[in-house]
Chains A and B, each alone.
Chain A
Amino acid sequence: MDPRQRPLLHRRLGVFKALAWSLVAVLILIYAWLQLVRHGEFKQLAMQQAVKVRPIAAPRGLVLDRNGYRLVDNRRALHLVIQREDLPSRPEVVEALAQALDLDPASLARKIQSYRFAGKGRPLVLKENLDESGIALAERVRARFSFLSVDVAPRRVYLGDELAGHVLGYVGEVDDELMKAKPGVFRLGETIGKEGFEASGNDKLKGVDGQKRILVDQLGTEVANFGQTDAAPGRSLYLTLDAGLQKVMQDAYGEEAGAAVVLDLRDGGILAMYSSPSYDPNLFLNRLSQDMVDRYLNNPTRPMVNRAIQGIYAPGSTFKLLVALAGLEKGVITPQTVIYCAGKKNFYGRDFRCDKPTGHGGLSLVQAIAQSCDVYFYEVASRLDVDDIYATAEKYGLTERTGIDLPREKRTRIPSRAWKRKAVPKDPKWYAGETISVGIGQGAVGVTPIGLARFYATLATRGKLLTPHLFYGFRGDQTNALEPGPVPPAKETPLDPRMWAVLDEGLHEVVQSGTAAANPFIREVAREAPFVGKTGTAQVATFVDKSHYARQAKHLKDHALFAGYAPHDRPQIAFAVVVENAGFGSTAAAPIAAKLVKYWFVDRLKNPLPPPRGRMVDPFAPAPEVAE
């Protein structure tokens, strides 16, 4: 039967046609809903994922020493990378590349895989901070693997290496903890100061990031730039540090552990600060290798600790000046008080021995300081209460942090009755015998080198409580010259002139005729640049028989200290030197102080460093060889 004569078929086809057009109509309605009604919403979504606002990192400011020598520079670092859109996929290519670069093929393949699927924008870094041989290698390898590229990124360079590691610190990527602790302050991946002045001076150095509006594709690669606001570079700044003095200090320590600080008495600026062993901040810019972790973080000598502000040392005899001051101010002694030393003295049924077993005989205060007689100060302490000593320490700022502009400064520990209640709850009572030990800077007394230096600065200035600081001022953008910053406030706690005179005289005699005078080098320096100071030898362990001393392990030897100021008549600097496990203050610490004084007042003026004008001179570069 001819289908054209079939009414049923026609009916059905009519229905099908109607259904076909209804399908088209329904689809049109769906698209009208998406494209007309919800157009705005989807347009917004498309914009959001394609147009990104990306920050432009502002270069950090440079850090200069007080004379303008660069301590921290920015250099361009080259990294061998693979851009995300160029990641190779063929396993044999990955293997060959790993071989060419001496990388582990399995871990490289894993890395490539993870970059393919996670994260956006950042290229995969194969080799970072290429040096000359690295660049040569990169060029050779790139000839074979065209998908490799060399990325240029700014990099911090610490010119002195270990010279001022603790002072300068280092930078790194902001971590999650900090991001969470201070929401809205940092952006992901931002470079911030992690340690030292890089951390405490972060706001001064960091500048203002710019931003750009860019079009990105699905992989996050920049396709077009819609315009940008440029980054405002961070301002370069001067530290109060003197690179030359710092170098002398570093050299003076050599392999010894310890810390030293030199303060400028005009404003509290830190002329030099060194903690030994030091670390090289440059090494922290690369991702930490196991080698680094071993060398620094797990090292028993704890090079990451800035001993100058975080090391707590028994001050030993350097503390006697404070005890003397407490005695004078409390009136239990006068400048003329003479006390007899028989080599030992019994207090509360226990013998306290002097350094000189045969005894010093009758001593005035000046002589007692010069000879560092223990019995004299046992006696002074026995006439005082521990809280009297604490009160004097508090008055002259020794119980608080100095307020230096470095992170994580520790507080000195001056014992008192209240302190013992809190610190030793099992035995909260203060025993009078303990005060005797405090009298010679032993027992629970612990000071930081910076705190000790500031106390001697207070003595040198006859009662000025300076705030030690590193920030000197910004570098003028046009002039390139120092624009001095504000000097942190100093507190005045005037010393009685008569009391001061006797302490000053005592310190003078230490170097002229006392404990430090035996050393010919010290005498020689003191002739050219008269400096004064007090030796200290702080016990780490008590020995029954001193003849065993030399045979004792190095780590049980006494800490050597020397603190003082110079020049004697019109003091310009104050200093504190601690050498760990080195024995006597007079033989281990005082010579270091003498070297510092000699450089500052003699050598520096005789052979000045070349001026850092124009293209700045790097004082740490090896001297150019002169043809004969």
Chain B
Amino acid sequence: MKERLRALDPRLLGVILALMLLGTLTLFSAGRNTPQAAIWLKQTVWNLMGLALMLLLANTHPRRVLRYSFAAYLLGLAALLAVLVVGKKIGGATRWFVVGGQTFQPSELMKWVTLLYVSQRLGSRPADSIGRLELLGAVGLVAFPMLLVQRQPDLGMALSFLPILLIIPLMKGLRMRWVVALVLLVTVGGFGAWKVALKPYQKQRVMIFLDPSSDLQGKGYQVNQSRIAIGAGGLIGKGFTSGSQTQLNFLPVKTTDFAFSVWAEERGFLGVLLALGLFGLLLSRILDAAKAAHTNAEAYFCAGAAGIFALHLMVNVGMVAGALPNKGMVLPFFSAGGSSTLSFFLALGLIMGILYRSRVK
């Protein structure tokens, strides 16, 4: 056991445990005096399972994991198709399998499987250059599961596939200027078309295609309450389990999408600094792993993983502050949920394994 624990990178583990502690405290406070009082315990169970999974993967050679990536990708696609047919519909979306009272969201895992397979594919090709076919193939590999996820529909989740498409080609040699040009084109073109060319009903169609739940009421209310919670927290916060927005239930969905608002209200700006600093260290350490990786595929996976974590961080923390649109994207370690927790730990386990191999050799 001691031997196996040595596979864990102490710096990354430290950051993970610290963020877990913050998340558990947040959930304890958010669940108080609600029917979800035990959610922090439930999440702790998921976290412990996640840690075990991470330990297992850290002790597995990354090569062996990558070897199964294609099979996993096919299996994932099958699962995404299956969920559209036999999945449970909750709040207008079909995203979940129900097994023995437990829900499982295959798209959470599929994101990482896709990243893994794309990394494996492009990593086995010559480095520092990327052919048109290669690029097109990668786009296809990512677009297929993305579209299946958008069918559920789940725009937030579909968007979280995007870092794979951006980061891996860049690592492989795609000129930065092309990416910058593309981003500029899409932004300016899209904005221009929105402002000038599209008629209102067309805009509405686009909006409804992108986010079928956008016509439902209540999102503005949620974000408004979240901003009040964050702002009222001030410098040092209202104190643990003392946030009025949280404890009096003004803050909505506070154990998942808006968990970070709970932390911000009760621990204040100093708590936010601590949490965001830890997330910064997490991303930094994952990128260190990319640098230390033995193979291109491993490096791509780490960099892509950093991208996905960064996107979750940006969208969730930015959303609850009202800086970004309300797209339900969870925040790792803070938002409660089994599928996402296990998936995050799976990725972190792989990264641990990559770091471990780079050290021992």
A interface, CB within 8 angstroms of B:
1-4, 6, 8-10, 12-13, 15-17, 19-21, 23-24, 27-28, 30-32, 34-36, 38-39, 41-43, 45-47, 49-50, 215-219, 223
Contacts and interface: CB of A to CB of B under 8 A. Distances in A.
A49 to B, nearest CB: 6
Interface in B232-251: 232-235, 244-245, 248-250
Interface stretch (B3-11, B58-66, B165-173, B333-341): B165-173
B323 A46 contact: no
Contact of A16 (B127, B230, B287, B294): B287
A2 B294 contact: yes
Contacts of B149: none
A444 B253 CA distance: 75
18 contacts: A3-B295, A9-B291, A12-B171, A13-B303, A16-B167, A16-B306, A21-B284, A23-B310, A24-B280, A27-B276, A27-B318, A32-B269, A39-B233, A39-B234, A41-B231, A42-B231, A43-B232, A223-B248
A39 to B, nearest CB: 4
Nearest to B174: A12
Interface in B272-295: 272-273, 276-277, 279-280, 283-284, 287, 290-295
A117 to B, nearest CB: 11
A17 B302 CA distance: 12
Nearest to B278: A24
B321 interface: yes
Nearest to B298: A3
Contacts of A2: 294
A31 B313 CA distance: 14
Contacts of B284: 17, 20-21
Nearest to A8: B128
B245 A8 contact: no
Given A27-B276, A49-B250, A218-B249, 13 more contacts: A8-B173, A9-B127, A12-B171, A13-B290, A13-B291, A17-B283, A20-B310, A27-B313, A27-B318, A39-B231, A42-B227, A42-B230, A46-B245
Given A2-B294, A30-B318, A35-B272, A21 B280 contact: yes
Contacts of B348: none
A39 B264 CA distance: 12
Given A23-B313, A42-B231, A12 B170 contact: yes
The CB with the most chain A CB atoms within 10 A, among B167, B229, B287, B306, is that of B287
B74 interface: no
Contact of A45 (B170, B228, B287): B228
A28 B273 CA distance: 7
Interface in B149-208: 167, 170-171, 173, 176
B295 to A, nearest CB: 7
A236 B119 CA distance: 87
Contact of A35 (B235, B295, B299, B307): B235
A9 B171 contact: yes
B19 interface: no
A8 B249 CA distance: 51
A24 B295 contact: no
Between A1, A4, A8, A24, the greatest number of chain B beta carbons within 10 A of the residue's beta carbon is seen for A24
A13 B287 CA distance: 7
B296 interface: yes
Nearest to B127: A1
A31 B264 contact: yes
B231 A3 contact: no
Contact of A31 (B269, B280, B287): B269
7 A-B pairs closest in CB distance: A42-B231, A46-B232, A20-B283, A24-B280, A218-B249, A217-B248, A35-B269
B294 A3 contact: yes
Contacts of A32: 269
Contacts of A21: 280, 283-284
Nearest to B297: A3
B329 to A, nearest CB: 14
B314 interface: yes
B347 interface: no
A6 B292 CA distance: 11
Contact of B229 (A13, A15, A46): A46
Nearest to B324: A30
A251 B128 CA distance: 111
A39 B296 CA distance: 47
Nearest to B268: A35
Contact of A217 (B229, B249, B269): B249
A9 B128 CA distance: 8
A403 B171 CA distance: 96
A519 B343 CA distance: 105
B317 interface: yes
Contacts of B294: 2-4
A547 to B, nearest CB: 79
A6 B306 CA distance: 19
Contacts of B293: 3-4
B313 A38 contact: no
Given A3-B127, A8-B173, A21-B284, A34 B249 contact: no
A38 B231 contact: yes
A2 B127 CA distance: 10
A486 B313 CA distance: 76
Contacts of B279: 24
Contacts of A15: 176
B106 to A, nearest CB: 28
Contacts of A38: 231
Interface in B299-320: 299, 303, 306-307, 310, 313-314, 317-318
B250 A218 contact: yes
Contacts of A50: 244-245, 248, 250
A15 B248 CA distance: 44
Contacts of A3: 127, 293-296, 298-299
Contacts of B233: 35, 39
Contacts of B321: 27, 30-31, 34
